[in-house]
Structure 1
Amino acid sequence: MSNPIIHAFDFDGVICDSAVETAITGWKAAGRIWPDMQTAMPETLIDSFRRIRPIIETGYEAILAMRMLQQGDTIGDIYNGYTDRTQTLLQQAQVSTDDLKLLFGDTRDQWIAENRDEWIAMNPLFPGVAKKLHALEADSWYIVTTKQERFVSKILRANDIKLADERIFGLDRNMSKPAVLTGLLAQHTGQNMHFLEDRLPALKSVQQQPGLKPVKLLFALWGYNTREDKAEVAAQRDIVGLNLEGFLN
Structure 2
Amino acid sequence: MNKPIIHAFDFDGVICDSAVETAITGWKAAGRIWPDMQSEMPEALIDSFRRIRPIIETGYEAILAMRMLQQGDSIGDIYQGYTDKTATLLQQAQVGIDDLKQLFGDTRDQWISENRPQWIAMNPLFAGVAEKLKRLEADSWYIVTTKQERFVRKILKANDISLADERIFGLDRNLSKPRVLTDLLAKHPGQSFHFLEDRLPALQGVQKHPALASVKLFFALWGYNTREDKALVAGQHDISGLNLEDFLS
Q: What range describes the TM-score normalised by the shorter chain of this pair?
A: over 0.9
Aligned match of 2:139: 139
Quote how far apart the aligned CAs of 1:62 are: 0.0
- State the distance in 2 between where 1:179 and 1:173 align: 11
2:194 is aligned with 1:194: yes
- State the distance in 2 between where 1:68 and 1:6 align: 40
Aligned match of 1:157: 157
Equivalent AA in structure 2 for residue 115 of structure 1: N
Quote how far apart the aligned CAs of 1:2 are: 3.6
Unaligned runs of 5+ in 2: none
- State the distance in 2 between where 1:55 and 1:2 align: 39
Aligned match of 1:178: 178
Quote how far apart the aligned CAs of 1:202 are: 0.2
User: Which whole-Å deviations, capped at 9, do the CAs of 1:192-228 have from their partners, x for residues lacking one?
Assistant: 0000000000000001100000100000000000000
**What are the residue-to-residue correspondences of 1:91-110 with 2, within 5 Å?**
91-110=91-110
Equivalent AA in structure 1 for residue 40 of structure 2: A
**What are the residue-to-residue correspondences of 1:33-182 with 2, within 5 Å?**
33-182=33-182
User: Which whole-Å deviations, capped at 9, do the CAs of 1:9-44 have from their partners, x for residues lacking one?
Assistant: 000000000000000000000000000000000000
User: Which whole-Å deviations, capped at 9, do the CAs of 1:135-167 have from their partners, x for residues lacking one?
Assistant: 000000000000000000000000000000000
Equivalent AA in structure 2 for residue 19 of structure 1: A
- State the distance in 2 between where 1:16 and 1:75 align: 23
- State the distance in 2 between where 1:13 and 1:100 align: 21
The number of aligned residues is 249
Quote how far apart the aligned CAs of 1:181 are: 0.2
Q: Report the 3-state secondary structure (helix = DSSP H, G, I; strand = E; otherwise coil) of the residue aligned with 2:182.
A: helix
Quote how far apart the aligned CAs of 1:3 are: 3.2
Quote how far apart the aligned CAs of 1:4 are: 1.4
- State the distance in 1 between where 2:232 and 2:101 align: 31
Q: Report the 3-state secondary structure (helix = DSSP H, G, I; strand = E; otherwise coil) of the residue aligned with 1:107.
A: helix
Q: Report the 3-state secondary structure (helix = DSSP H, G, I; strand = E; otherwise coil) of the residue aligned with 1:72.
A: coil
Would you identify which runs of 4 or more consecutive aligned residues in structure 1 move more than 6 Å? none
2:224 is aligned with 1:224: yes
Q: Report the 3-state secondary structure (helix = DSSP H, G, I; strand = E; otherwise coil) of the residue aligned with 1:115.
A: helix
2:8 is aligned with 1:8: yes
Equivalent AA in structure 2 for residue 57 of structure 1: E
Equivalent AA in structure 1 for residue 145 of structure 2: T
User: Which whole-Å deviations, capped at 9, do the CAs of 1:96-118 have from their partners, x for residues lacking one?
Assistant: 00000000000000000000000
**Aligned residues: CA RMSD:** 0.5
- State the distance in 2 between where 1:4 and 1:127 align: 24
Equivalent AA in structure 1 for residue 15 of structure 2: I
- State the distance in 2 between where 1:108 and 1:80 align: 29
Q: Report the 3-state secondary structure (helix = DSSP H, G, I; strand = E; otherwise coil) of the residue aligned with 1:139.
A: coil
Q: Report the 3-state secondary structure (helix = DSSP H, G, I; strand = E; otherwise coil) of the residue aligned with 1:138.
A: coil
Q: Report the 3-state secondary structure (helix = DSSP H, G, I; strand = E; otherwise coil) of the residue aligned with 2:139.
A: helix
- State the distance in 2 between where 1:6 and 1:62 align: 31
Normalising by structure 1, report the TM-score.
Answer: 0.99
Aligned match of 1:204: 204
Aligned match of 2:214: 214
- State the distance in 1 between where 2:2 and 2:248 align: 21
**What are the residue-to-residue correspondences of 1:227-242 with 2, within 5 Å?**
227-242=227-242
Equivalent AA in structure 2 for residue 242 of structure 1: L
